[in-house]
Amino acid sequence: MNDQQLLRYSRHILLDEIGIEGQQAILNGRALVIGAGGLGSPASLYLASAGIGQLTIVDHDSVDLTNLQRQIAHTTERVGQPKAESARATLNAINPECHVTALVERVDDARLAALVAQHDVVLDCTDNFKTRHAVNRACVAHRVPLVSGAVIRFDGQVSVFDTRTEGPCYSCLFPQDQPFEDVACSTMGVFAPLVGVVGAMQAAEALKLVMGIGESLSGRLLLLDGLRMEWNSISIGRNEACPVCGAQHP
């Protein structure tokens, strides 16, 4: 690190658990963020400000006026622009040292597999089960930890799925062959600050994984009741018969 980097990241370096070694790991880290909306905005902002070396943002959608109530990476002037490119502009303004790649595309299984293989950690900031399961399959196949978050109305949840250990995958908790109804915030609504809370927690878990410090949320699901402002932690185990990750642990 040069003198400017030592100054920029000094508050991290002061932490014994991080220090220069941990910050260097962040600078060398590669994070893939799927979704540049309510969760992807705060998650990517904190990853970039922390100095993550390579940040890839994937989102096929464009900025809409209704997004601005909670998707803080975007501005009024960017309504109509691709979200991934809008987010890249914001992140470059915060930390030009972070190399941000904006992919304006709807990724299929093959594309996801290629992208996941190039990164150290993946953050699922999407809002539909089909994409979540596709991301999970790619992460399991390439043994890349997945940080998953979700928010609707006043409820949020966050967890880590890391099958490099004995931890469960996303499909262990929400089986991919089980019917789920996607509930959109466009019909149900979402309390804006909660996506910031959950997205920031996703960034924190991702940075911890990149540095190899602390204890991740693997094997635990945190649930947030935003109206009561109460957290609950639920233990989740690996499903021995999971068709996605079961074969990794015969």
What's this model's pTM, rounded to 2 decimal places? 0.94
Q: HSE of 82 in the Cβ direction (CA atoms, 13 Å)?
A: 14
What is the C-alpha R_g of the chain?
A: 17
How does DSSP assign 152-177, residue by residue? Answer: EBTEEEEEEE-TTTT---HHHHS-TT
Spatial distance between the Cα atoms of 162 and 103, rounded to a whole number of angstroms: 25
As a whole-number percent, the residues of the chain with pLDDT over 70 amount to 95
Residue 179 has pLDDT above 90, yes or no: no
3-state secondary structure of 233: strand
* Residues in contact with 81: Cβ distance below 8 Å, sequence separation at least 6, in sequence order: 62, 63, 74
Residues 87, 41 contacting (CB under 8 angstroms): yes
Tell me the domains of the chain and their CATH numbers. Answer: 3-248 (3.40.50.720)
* pLDDT, tens only, 213-244: 999 999 999 999 999 999 999 999 999 889 99
* E strand or H helix at 110: helix 109-117
Residue 187 has pLDDT above 80, yes or no: no
Per-residue b/e over 175-208, b at no fewer than 16 CB within 10 Å? bbeeeeeeeebeeeebbeebbbbbbbbbbbbbbb
* pLDDT, tens only, 131-156: 999 999 999 999 999 999 999 999 99
Residue 128: pLDDT band with limits 50, 70, 90: confident
Place of tokens 């015969």: 250
* pLDDT, tens only, 78-93: 999 999 999 999 999 9
pLDDT score of 185: 59
pLDDT score of 71: 96
* E strand or H helix at 93: helix 83-94
